[in-house]
């Protein structure tokens, strides 16, 4: 009986820690976005993009800034500069969801919001659930996400 209760408590603890981790990541993304938007508005696009590219406040681990025009063209990418200049609105996740198009729609209709999709995790290379927060600033949107 004691073993069953102990096992249940341990499993519950692991689930609670996982949930807290997801909530912590979500809070981190929102805080990071607020800082990124404030910085963008303060120093302008060119300087903001230079600063977003430095490890630290705007780029740490799985968290980094992406900027995209409302036309779908990537204008800044914190970890993959090869994507700059490309239009990815037609790209789909493993379930066939056009998540970039969904991000643009969210930004156009609501100015900000979350878009969830499945994408390869850069560390594990396995398909994972990703949640990206988008925020519109004029004719561009900033994006920051996290993996579950």
Domains of the chain: 28-147 (3.30.450.20)
Distances (CA, A) of 72 to 26, 34, 66, 99: 24, 22, 12, 11
pLDDT value of residue 122: 79
Q: How many CB atoms lie within 10 A of CB 31?
A: 13
pLDDT value of residue 132: 98
pLDDT value of residue 98: 97
Please return the burial class of 89, using the count of CB atoms within 10 Å of its CB with bins 0-12, 13-18 and 19+.
middle
pTM: 0.84
The single residue listed with the structure tokens 């981190």 is 28
Whose CA is closest to 143, among 88, 86, 64? 64
Tokens representing 128?
Answer: 């994972």
- What distance in Å separates the CA atoms of residue 130 and residue 144, rounded to the nearest whole number? 10
Residue ranges in the chain whose pLDDT is less than 50 = 1-20
């Amino acid at each position: 009986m004691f073993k069953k209760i102990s096992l249940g408590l341990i499993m519950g603890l692991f689930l609670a820690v996982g949930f807290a981790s997801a909530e912590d990541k979500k809070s981190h993304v929102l805080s990071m976005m607020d800082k990124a938007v404030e910085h963008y508005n303060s120093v302008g696009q060119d300087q903001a993009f230079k600063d977003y590219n430095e490890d630290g406040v705007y780029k740490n681990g799985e968290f980094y800034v992406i900027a995209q025009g409302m036309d779908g063209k990537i204008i800044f990418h914190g970890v993959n500069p090869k994507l700059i200049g490309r239009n990815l609105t037609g790209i789909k996740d493993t379930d066939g969801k056009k998540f970039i198009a969904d991000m643009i729609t969210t930004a156009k209709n609501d100015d900000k919001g979350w878009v969830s999709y499945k994408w390869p995790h850069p560390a594990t290379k396995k398909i994972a659930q990703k949640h990206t927060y988008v925020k519109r600033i004029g004719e561009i949107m900033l994006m920051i996400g996290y993996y579950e």
